[in-house]
A and B are shown apart, each in its own frame.
Chain A
Amino acid sequence: MVGILESADKIAPVKGDRFKPVAFFQRYGREIGLPVIVVALTALFAANSEVFFSLANFRNIGVSAAALAAVSFGQAFAILTAGLDLSVGSTVALVSIVGAIVMRDYGVPAGMIASLATGAGVGLVNGIVITRFKVFPFIATLAMMSIVSGLALSLSGGVAVTGVPASFADLAYELVLGVPVPVIIALMVLLVAFLVLQYTLLGRRIYAVGGNEEAARLSGIQIGAVKVAAYVFSGMCAAVGSIILTARVASGQPSLGTTLPLESVAAVVLGGISLFGGRGSVIGVAFGVLFVSILSNGLNLLNVPSYTQMMVIGGALILAVALDQAFMGSRVSRSG
């Protein structure tokens, strides 16, 4: 059996490694589309608003995008397994309460650890409910959204937790080399997510499970473990998002993050990750987040009412999924 592999090093790269424009576009077309749209959107707002194209406003966009970004990178993991995590919003709220209480009583580092542990805990429960009890991700995380939200409200008694150390709250507005700390945190999450997906067994297995669960199982991949890990990662990312938001409002808020389930799914799907799982990258998601954030910032500056903005974001999501469907259709008929 070993014989068939013995001359492994002598083999020259096959010709498939050469750059092929057509194949490149088929594979990365959607990933290129969004950055182009983001740049176009930026140009559009810059032409219509004097304030938009300024360093101060870009920092603004960055800070407001940071929490959504962290949450969306986690959401991407869940969706890549052909799942979904609707509990990210209430996880942000619960983590905010738990983190603020622990921080107030035991200091900032303990609060951070408690925050991440809480996020991981919610993700673990999500993962177990989905894999052990075979509850569809949509239902499981929808139910968890309610459970976790109730937990956050009863822990806090429905009011904000104050007394968060000032050193923590300042984080949200500090600059390192001119870049706001939340942006740096979000970029770190992006880097971790990218490295995990690209260079770890877990990451590649997430793609395999999402792409074809049965083939993955017959290849010896432990499907349950892979999915649980994806939801735990999603929960931890929500915790990071919560830390950023909690610092910004300098208190634990039980109502934090209510718009995040929709916005994170929108960012992920706009970013080119297929809702059917197994396809797309977190780099695309980063652009999805930029798109959502720049859109709402620009509409704000143009004095478009926030109610109208909600409609615009919902419309963009439907458009993205419609495009995804059209793309899936052509992909299926092309094979064979």
Chain B
Amino acid sequence: MSAAFRSAATPASASDRDQPPFVVLNNLQKDYPGVRALGGVSMDLRRGEVHALVGENGAGKSTLIRVLSGDVRPDGGTLSVGGETVVFAGPMDARKHGIVTIFQELMIVPELSVAENIFLGNEPESFGLFYSRRRAERMAADILETLVKGIGIRPSQRAGSLSTAQKQLIEIARALVLRAPVLVMDEPTAALSENEAVALRRLIVRLRSEGTSILYVSHRLDEIMEIADRVTVLRGGERIATSDIEAITNTSELLGLMIGRPIAQLFPPRNEDLGEVVFSVSSLTRQGAFENISFNVRAGEVVGFAGLVGAGRTEVMRAIFGADVLDSGEIRKSGRVITIHSPRDAIASGIAYLPEDRKDHGLVLSMSGVENLVMASLERSGFAGLVSWKAVGRSARSVAEKLHFTGQLDAMAGTASGGNQQKLVIGKWVLTQADILIFDEPTRGIDVGAKAEVYRLIHRLASEGAAVILVSSELPELMNVCHRIYAMSGGRIWDEIPQEEFDEQRILAGAFVAHMAAKPTAFHAGAA
């Protein structure tokens, strides 16, 4: 009752334009050793507005967010909330002032349940004393239902068993519980599939109408054009522009502002020189994850896998790579049946897998860029169990150069930007000279410039005769990069769509099959 009253009493967004802004950042400065992260940035956030913040990696977005979240104290400038100048002592202090930040880095306690994670530090009580598990789980179920319907997260589930995207949803649910007047979202949709992103955008629009101010950081510019009221562009720690979204004609204009020069082409043309089928799997099954998976890839071809989170795409790829066990099925390379019991076997067969989780599965963050690059091919850089650092350095530098790696190769991988980290993972597999490459969400959370380079690289690998498998939750990416797309849902492949027939509706239909009442029979790619 009281909650409904509160939201009804909050002014709607239309009348807010004339009010003084709720959060004001004035001339914020922050220097790190050798880097000017923020060179005097001013901007503001009105009540009931979605204000997008865009810029390339290193533009200062992360630092700005960390200042707002109380994680970083600025070297200069002021911050005011509701007309009152504030200096945050720490993240808790920022929350007390009503600013809640949803970080890209997930802060989930894996051993606790979903409900416990959502209410962490804010647990519902019974009789003011006991933690009521039933009540917490019921409330959690309500929140999850509002957030994304039918995503299949049970409140009693162990949070550690969730996928990256599901964890991201928990993170958002946690912020909603706090009912903060200001939400800062750092790439909330980066880990989400298209449909989850749609649901989240709907939620954001609703929060806005209830008077919540949202600072929205995203690399998905079409998304920003859709939901933002205003947009601020940062470049090199400076504010380049702030504009009403109506004044921006298209995403290219935004891109131009971000990069400071017009962008040539996001997607390179497809490789036209396709060879024989070099890789095929038939009837792959893993109990509880996927069943009867059959598909094939030709030399020089890029084959996409569309689907919702939890469709089983990652599970299939991990099993092919030997990271998880297969119950049954057959894998063929160049016509020959191959047996894979471990990633080591897969690598020996010329298969590479770029995991969706760069930091946890792709890189050893405490080791240098050089060492990460050569990690899967170290035997080649020496003999008799010895490492030749000269050879290692040479191959690492050559591949880094090819990938346009712009960070420091000798620094710990953990200090590199998202785009550069992804280049390290890609470079690692390029160095193994694999000819079957599986990319699992390769552009998640990296900026547009780095995305273009990933596409360019996929194109280049395909042109050189590699067979590429691309698992992605971004439809435009799949539709512009792939020759063929398989749509997966509920652990099965439901549709195979050739390039001439690419159609958003059809792909989504295939990705949604398992979520609909009447299920058609599964599609068998290997039937022919």
Binding site for B on A (CB under 8 A): 1-5, 7-9, 11, 13-14, 16-17, 20, 22-23, 27, 198-205, 207-208, 211-212, 214-222, 274, 278-279, 331, 333-336
List the A side residues contacting B321 at CB < 8 Å.
Answer: 218
Give the complex CA separation of A221 and B34 in angstroms.
Answer: 36
A16→B366 contact, CB < 8 A: no
Given known contacts A1-B434, A219-B343, A208 and B375 CB-to-CB distance under 8 angstroms: yes
B378→A212 contact, CB < 8 A: no
Which of B113-121, B265-273, B385-393 sits within the interface? Answer: B385-393
The smallest C-beta distance from A141 to any residue of chain B, in angstroms, reads 23
Identify which of A8, A199, A278 contacts B389 (C-beta below 8 A): A199
List the A side residues contacting B104 at CB < 8 Å.
Answer: 336
Binding site for A on B (CB under 8 A): 33-34, 62, 71, 104-105, 321, 323, 342-344, 346-348, 353, 355, 359-367, 369, 371, 375-376, 378-379, 382, 385-387, 389, 394-395, 397-402, 405, 407-412, 414-415, 418, 428, 430-431, 433-435, 460-461, 464-466
List the A side residues contacting B378 at CB < 8 Å.
Answer: 201, 204-205
Give the complex CA separation of A146 and B375 in angstroms.
Answer: 38
Question: SS class of chain A's interface: helix, strand, loop or mixed?
Answer: helix
B464→A215 contact, CB < 8 A: no
Told that A16-B408, A201-B378 touch, could you supply 6 new A-B pairs with CB distance under 8 A? A4-B461, A199-B386, A200-B387, A204-B371, A218-B323, A336-B418
Given known contacts A14-B401, A220-B346, A212 and B395 CB-to-CB distance under 8 angstroms: no
Query: Taking CB as reference atom, which chain B residue is nearest A13?
Result: B397
Give the complex CA separation of A207 and B71 in angstroms.
Answer: 31
B411→A212 contact, CB < 8 A: no
A17→B410 contact, CB < 8 A: yes
Q: Can you name 25 A-B residue pairings with CB atoms under 8 Å?
A: A1-B430, A2-B433, A2-B464, A4-B399, A4-B460, A4-B464, A5-B430, A5-B433, A8-B395, A8-B398, A14-B400, A16-B408, A17-B409, A200-B387, A201-B385, A207-B367, A214-B360, A214-B361, A216-B375, A217-B323, A218-B321, A219-B347, A278-B367, A334-B415, A335-B365
The smallest C-beta distance from A228 to any residue of chain B, in angstroms, reads 15
Give the complex CA separation of A7 and B395 in angstroms.
Answer: 10
B364→A22 contact, CB < 8 A: no
B376→A219 contact, CB < 8 A: yes
List the A side residues contacting B395 at CB < 8 Å.
Answer: 5, 8
Could you say which of A13, A14, A214 has the most chain B C-beta atoms within 10 Å of its C-beta?
Answer: A14
The smallest C-beta distance from B508 to any residue of chain A, in angstroms, reads 31
List the B side residues contacting A334 at CB < 8 Å.
Answer: 414-415
Given known contacts A4-B430, A14-B397, A199 and B387 CB-to-CB distance under 8 angstroms: yes
List the B side residues contacting A279 at CB < 8 Å.
Answer: 366
The smallest C-beta distance from A12 to any residue of chain B, in angstroms, reads 8
Give the complex CA separation of A279 and B367 in angstroms.
Answer: 8
Given known contacts A1-B466, A16-B410, A279-B366, A218 and B343 CB-to-CB distance under 8 angstroms: yes
Query: Taking CB as reference atom, which chain A residue is nearest B460?
Result: A4
Query: Taking CB as reference atom, which chain A residue is nearest B371?
Result: A204
A212→B365 contact, CB < 8 A: yes
List the B side residues contacting A208 at CB < 8 Å.
Answer: 364, 367, 371, 375
Query: Taking CB as reference atom, which chain B residue is nearest A195?
Result: B386
List the B side residues contacting A211 at CB < 8 Å.
Answer: 364-367
Give the complex CA separation of A232 and B212 in angstroms.
Answer: 60
Give the complex CA separation of A273 and B168 in angstroms.
Answer: 33
Identify which of B371, B397, B428 contacts A207 (C-beta below 8 A): B371
The smallest C-beta distance from B405 to any residue of chain A, in angstroms, reads 8
A215→B361 contact, CB < 8 A: yes
Give the complex CA separation of A280 and B105 in angstroms.
Answer: 26
B428→A219 contact, CB < 8 A: yes
The smallest C-beta distance from A282 to any residue of chain B, in angstroms, reads 16
The smallest C-beta distance from A205 to any residue of chain B, in angstroms, reads 8
Give the complex CA separation of A214 and B460 in angstroms.
Answer: 28
A11→B375 contact, CB < 8 A: no
B399→A5 contact, CB < 8 A: yes
Give the complex CA separation of A27 and B414 in angstroms.
Answer: 12
The smallest C-beta distance from B519 to any residue of chain A, in angstroms, reads 34
Give the complex CA separation of A220 and B466 in angstroms.
Answer: 20
Given known contacts A1-B434, A207-B367, A201 and B382 CB-to-CB distance under 8 angstroms: yes
